[in-house]
Every structure is written in structure tokens, then in C-alpha cells.
Structure 1
Amino acid sequence: MSRNDVIDRIRTFLAPHMGEHVLADEEDIFAAGIVNSLFAMQLVVFIEGEFQVTVTPEDLDIDRFRSISAIADLVLAKTGAVRHA
């Protein structure tokens, strides 16, 4: 699984919540108002189901979920996938 594939799948999940906003991969999704604490839990459930990984309490550092790029890095680390574009 490529990093771009992971990013595309995350972006597709977030799309209904972005309205007209075009989200950059490094943009803070909390500061942009796209994700709040309640939706963050839905995001975790999506990540676990979509990528067949378990998000542990240790993974729940907000910085790991702050951007699409950070989430992709977490997914790639959890799946053991090689990070490439």
C-alpha cells in the first residue's frame, strides 16, 4: 500500500466533512474545524476498519491525528508498509 493510497482513502473519508474547504496534507484538521474530539473517535474507528490496524491508547497522541499526512504516517507504521509516494 502506497502512502498516496493511504492519503487518498483518508481524504475520501474526511471529504463529506470538509464542505468547500480544500485540505492540504499537512494542514491541521482540528484547527481547520474539520475534526473535533467526538469526530476524532469516528476517525479512529475508520482507520482501524479501513486499514485493519489496532489503534492503541499509546497511539492516541493528538499529533498523530493532526493532519492527513500524520495519520498516513501512523497507518504506514502500524501496517509495516514502506513509506513511499
Structure 2
Amino acid sequence: MTESSDLAGAAVAPAGHDVAAELLAFLEAKTKTTWEADQDIFAVGGMSSLFAMQLVVHLEKTYAVTISGADLMLDNFRTVDTMVRLVRRLGPGATDAPGTAGTGDTGGE
């Protein structure tokens, strides 16, 4: 996906930024549809595979994360809520990333 050197110019969202609100606005702008944070956007035909890749790129650039390997599974992109959890888990300073002291939540959903 994105190499770490590509993230140097990424527009990292400021601390306290509402990731869910930003993602909902992004989805609405791109699809001209209003979405709920817990709505499965694949189940209702809201996303093509091409748009899914655009979404991955958006998340990587906006939140300075690298999404690769097992994190590219469809379940991480079904809802805004799952994307928010992914961004928080992968993001800089994430507290529940492997090897860090955090909430104890290992993301085993």
C-alpha cells in the first residue's frame, strides 16, 4: 500500500479530531448518500472494490496509517465504526497496538 516515506506529507488529523464524523462526511461527499456509523456499506451496495481502494488510500493519507496484510480484510471497512477502530489501532501513538501499554483491547471482535 503506502510506504512510510509516503506518509511524510500526509495530512494527519489533529488530536481530538472526530474520525467518525470525517469519514461520514467523506462517504457522503463521494457517494451522495447519508450513512450511519454502524451501517454496513457493503451490504447495501454502497461500495465497489474500486471505491474500497480509494477509501484505503484516504484513510492512509488522512490519518498517517499504513493498511496492509491482514488489516486489508473486508470486515475492517464494513462500517464507519470499524474503520474508526482500525485507524485508532494503527495510528501514531495508538494505545492498543501490539507491544504497547493500552486498554487491554486487542481488537478481537
| Structure of greater relative contact order (alpha carbons < 8 Å, 6+ residues apart) | 1
* Runs of at least 5 residues in structure 1 that lack an aligned partner in the other structure: none
The structure whose Rg is larger is: 2
- So what's the TM-score if we normalise by structure 1? 0.82
- Report what 1:54 is aligned to: 66
Distance 2:19 2:51 in 1: 19
Q: Is the 8 A contact 2:65 2:90 kept in 1?
A: yes
* 1:17 shift after superposition: 3.2
Aligned residue identity for 2:28: A
- So what's the TM-score if we normalise by structure 2? 0.66
- 1:22-62 CA-to-partner distances (Å, cap 9, x unmatched) read 31111101112221111000000000000000001210110
Identity of aligned residues (%): 35
The number of equivalent residue pairs is 81
Higher relative helix content: 1
Q: Is the 8 A contact 1:17 1:34 kept in 2?
A: no
- What is the alpha-carbon root mean square deviation over aligned residues? 2.0
